[in-house]
Amino acid sequence: MARVEPGVAGATEKPPETQAPRQLVSLAMYRTLVLNATNDPLSVVSGRRGALLVLAEKADPVHESGDQLRSERCSLLVPSVIRLRYFVQVPFHGARAISRHGIFARDDFTCQYCGGKADSIDHVRPRSRGGGHTWDNVVAACRPCNTRKRDRLLSELSMRLRRSPSIPTRSTLLAAASTAVPEHWCLYLGVDRRRTA
Ligand SMILES: [Zn+2]
């Protein structure tokens, strides 16, 4: 339920387009984690979109940021985590677009050859030798390992992967989608707090 000040008629019908510019700017800083009706993490949206979903009674706040959004007609706590009131069907293994940040998040920002801090991406089977830019062929790596490996196969070197690359979980990608993952999100995402690159 939206936190609407009592006695303010029509407050839930008014989207926060009437906010003063300063308040809209501050709302733009917020991000809202959206849970499916089943409590599974679904997506990350802007705080504004999260607030609108609550105002439209399409979602309930599960965790609030503690910051209040005010307009002439209503006020509500900006939701940090919301749960949809309806179920959204999610393809089991939908096409999860490969991204540099997603690769770092999946590999915990760790070089998959030496365990050091990763600052580059390596194609396990080099592209020049037919390797694809796919989740199961791309790993996070440090520059020295990347330079050492060059366009060779692991079988031609003494290098080994610490774990085989695979499609990351939706939770890992959601964590990667947000530059700063609030600590209380980890509970819903089922992930450890991630280090940033
Ligand atoms: Zn390395």
pLDDT in tens, 49-93: 898 899 899 999 998 877 777 777 777 778 899 999 999 887 655
> Computed from CA positions of residues 46, 50, 55, 56, in that sequence, does the dihedral angle turn out positive or negative?
positive
Q: Give residue 120 CA to ligand 1 midpoint distance, Å.
A: 10
Given this model, what pLDDT does residue 14 score?
A: 43
Full-model pTM: 0.56
Q: Give residue 103 CA to ligand 1 midpoint distance, Å.
A: 15
Measure the CA–CA gap between 49 and 71, rounded to whole angstroms.
Answer: 16
Digit-coded pLDDT (tens) for 104-163? 988 989 999 999 999 999 999 999 999 999 999 999 999 999 999 999 999 999 899 999
Find the mean pLDDT for residues 28-37: 85
Given this model, what pLDDT does residue 185 score?
A: 79
Better-scored residue on pLDDT, 152 or 25: 152
Q: Which of 65, 91, 35 is nearest to 182 (CA)?
A: 65
Measure the CA–CA gap between 116 and 192, rounded to whole angstroms.
Answer: 19
Measure the CA–CA gap between 16 and 141, rounded to whole angstroms.
Answer: 45
| Spatial contact of 136 and 167, defined as CB atoms under 8 Å apart | yes
Q: How many helices (H) and strands (E) in the chain?
A: 6, 6
- Classify the phi-psi angles of 115: left when phi > 0, otherwise alpha if psi is within -120 to 50, otherwise beta: left
Q: Which of 77, 43, 36 is nearest to 59 (CA)?
A: 36
Residues with C-beta atoms within 5 A of ion ligand 1: 111, 113-114, 116, 142, 145
Write down the residue that tokens 């992930």 correspond to.
191
H or E segment to which residue 64 belongs: strand 59-70
Q: Give residue 159 CA to ligand 1 midpoint distance, Å.
A: 10
Given this model, what pLDDT does residue 102 score?
A: 84
pLDDT exceeds 90 at position 170: no
